[in-house]
């Protein structure tokens, strides 16, 4: 019998939360039950009971396994958050008794990596007994990991999600852009380079719909040019610089912070171009529903203070 909204929901058991999370990870009730040490008949019953408790279907059976419904996606997100918070609590208790060590889990988009590493270096001078776990990915994936409790905070862009009201969002650093090329590129040495000069170049770009990719497409439209063909798409800074190193004719649009890092080590040169499009600022993002520990708040202070110093 479906549960009415006026009825309080009976809490799910830890086993049910583990099962729901494992089904999402594996797409199979059989593999999920094996992973958490539960017999398949018992797992089937546990899932049925979870659906009775929530009053809705959580998974659809398909030829490819179990796919979550909209309600199931919500349940998975909350289950993973709860499990992650329990794991985080265990780590905090262990580190608290281990001479005051702390851990921070941070996600960042590629453009902010140099800025983040500077902040970490500053922070460690004040709090050396801190370990870090750093994930570099797109804003969309970082939000996914933040929602699941796998990260404490992220540096990304809230424009990439539909529910920014669920987060504390602080814009703290404007991103500037630069077009970089191999130091042996034929246009290196010019006092000015126009987009028309790079119309036939081999461009290394972000995947479709990513902010920096959209900015590049906008630049070409404003110049009355079509987007070049033969693009090389990647989300990896290492892949980008490796491709630039391998071919003198390749170019890429990067954040000026990342570009400066490569230039300082002689791996790339910045082309003297004027870009009309403006990038969105970096944003510091945390979940409203989660109270951060003191060491995370201290790191946020360093991050924002560093941005102010750079202005």
pLDDT at 4: 52
Residue 255 phi, psi dihedral angles, 5° rounding: -65, 150
Q: Say if residue 1 is in the same domain as residue 85.
A: yes
CATH number for the domain spanning 37: value is: 1.10.10.10
Place of tokens 């540096």: 155
pLDDT at 1: 41
Whether 198 maps to a domain, the answer reads yes
| Bridge pairing between strands 59-62 and 65-68 | antiparallel
Q: Say if residue 255 is in the same domain as residue 195.
A: yes
Whether 191 maps to a domain, the answer reads yes
Whether 276 maps to a domain, the answer reads no
pLDDT per residue over 24-45, tens digit each? 998 899 999 998 999 999 999 9
Q: Say if residue 186 is in the same domain as residue 231.
A: yes
- Token pair in block for residue 58: 């959580």
pLDDT at 253: 94
Q: Say if residue 86 is in the same domain as residue 74.
A: yes
Q: How many CA atoms, within 13 angstroms, populate the side-chain half-sphere of residue 79?
A: 24
- Token pair in block for residue 283: 């944003």
Q: How many CA atoms, within 13 angstroms, populate the side-chain half-sphere of residue 82?
A: 17
| Bridge pairing between strands 282-287 and 177-181 | unpaired
The arrangement of strands across the sheet holding 282-287 comes to 130-136, 102-108, 153-156, 282-287, 167-173
pLDDT at 99: 65
**Ranges assigned E (strand) in the chain:** 59-62, 65-68, 102-108, 130-136, 153-156, 167-173, 177-181, 202-205, 232-233, 250-255, 269-270, 282-287
Q: Which residues of the chain have pLDDT under 50?
A: 1, 311
**Which residues, 6+ apart, have CB-to-CB distance to 191 below 8 Å?**
272
Cβ neighbour number for residue 204 with a 10 Å cutoff: 23
Q: Say if residue 65 is in the same domain as residue 131.
A: no
pLDDT at 59: 94
Residue 206 phi, psi dihedral angles, 5° rounding: -70, 160
- Token pair in block for residue 267: 């791996």
pLDDT per residue over 112-145, tens digit each? 999 899 999 999 999 999 999 999 999 999 999 9
* Residue ranges making up the domain that contains 59: 1-94
pLDDT at 48: 92
């Amino acid at each position: 019998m479906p549960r009415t909204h006026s009825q309080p929901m009976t809490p799910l058991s830890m086993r049910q939360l583990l099962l729901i999370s494992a089904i999402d990870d594996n797409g199979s009730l059989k593999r999920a039950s094996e992973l958490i040490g539960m017999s398949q008949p018992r797992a089937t019953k546990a899932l049925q009971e979870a659906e009775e408790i929530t009053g809705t279907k959580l998974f659809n059976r398909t030829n490819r396994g179990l796919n979550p419904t909209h309600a199931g996606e919500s349940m998975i997100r909350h289950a993973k958050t709860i499990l992650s918070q329990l794991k985080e609590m265990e780590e905090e208790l262990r580190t608290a008794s281990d001479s005051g060590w702390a851990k921070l889990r941070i996600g960042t988009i590629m453009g902010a990596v140099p800025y983040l590493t500077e902040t970490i270096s500053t922070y460690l001078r004040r709090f050396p007994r801190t370990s870090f776990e750093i994930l570099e990915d797109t804003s969309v994936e970082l939000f996914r990991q933040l929602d699941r409790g796998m990260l404490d905070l992220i540096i990304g862009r809230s424009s990439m999600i539909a529910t920014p009201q669920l987060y504390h969002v602080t814009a703290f650093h404007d991103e500037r852009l630069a077009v970089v090329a191999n130091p042996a590129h034929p246009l290196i040495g010019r006092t000015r380079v126009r987009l028309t000069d790079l119309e036939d170049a081999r461009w290394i770009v972000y995947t479709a719909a990513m902010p920096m990719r959209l900015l590049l497409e906008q630049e070409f439209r404003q110049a009355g040019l079509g987007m070049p063909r033969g693009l090389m798409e990647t989300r990896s800074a290492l892949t980008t610089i490796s491709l630039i190193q391998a071919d003198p004719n390749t170019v890429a649009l990067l954040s000026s912070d990342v570009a400066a890092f490569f230039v300082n080590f002689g791996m790339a040169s910045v082309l003297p171009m004027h870009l009309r499009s403006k990038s969105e600022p970096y944003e510091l993002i945390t979940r409203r529903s989660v109270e951060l520990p003191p060491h995370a708040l201290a790191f946020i202070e360093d991050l924002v203070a560093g941005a102010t110093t750079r202005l």
